[in-house]
Amino acid sequence: MTSPIDPKELRTAFGSFMTGVTIVTTRCADGAMVGFTANSFSSVSIDPPLLLVCPGNFLSSYDTFANCTYFAVNILAEDQKDIANIFASYKGDRFVKVPHQLDPRGVPLIDGAAAQFSCTRHQALPMGDHCILIDEVTSFTHTDRAGLGYRAGKYFHIGLEGNAQQDVIERT
């Protein structure tokens, strides 16, 4: 039976949702560092501290991400579009081109990111053509740098200090 859902249209519709941009990193069993650009990030829980990200089964590093124990999620700052592009498409060693440090488990953290989360795998749920990786945050850093945005296949940033009206809403 043919699906009534057109995948291209669905991708476009999903793309209406404005997101930030992250780089998800880990290490292979042989020690090689791998990473990909992801906007499927979401915070999940404060107690316990959980986040999620969804690697697709088309990634060259999919098996590594679906099976590794330690990960990091780096929320890119607004001036890090080049890094997003490297981790979305460059086929060589992405880490040679991007300054980074290693966390205590040897997982790369991207320099200059707005926030960095070192994580241990909590659960991996294969779901359709992606896998939902739910990770427990073991340590993190954050800055007041504005994040890079993404919508409809394009990066955007609000601009330093933002032209946007800011309504402060405390979330309980």
Which CB atom, from 33 or from 84, has the smaller least distance to ligand FMN? Answer: 84
Which CB atom, from 47 or from 60, has the smaller least distance to ligand FMN? Answer: 60
Q: Which of 68, 87, 118, 136 binds ligand FMN (CB under 6 A)?
A: 87
Does 55 sit near ligand FMN (CB under 6 A)? yes
Does 44 sit near ligand FMN (CB under 6 A)? no
Sheet holding 33-38, edge to edge: 33-38, 22-27, 70-75, 115-127, 130-142, 50-53, 42-45
Burial 67-89 (b: 16+ CB within 10 A, else e): ebebbbbbbbbbebbebbebbee
163 contact partners, CB below 8 Å, separation of at least 6: none
Does 37 sit near ligand FMN (CB under 6 A)? yes
Binding mask 65-84 for ligand FMN (x = CB under 6 A): -------------------x
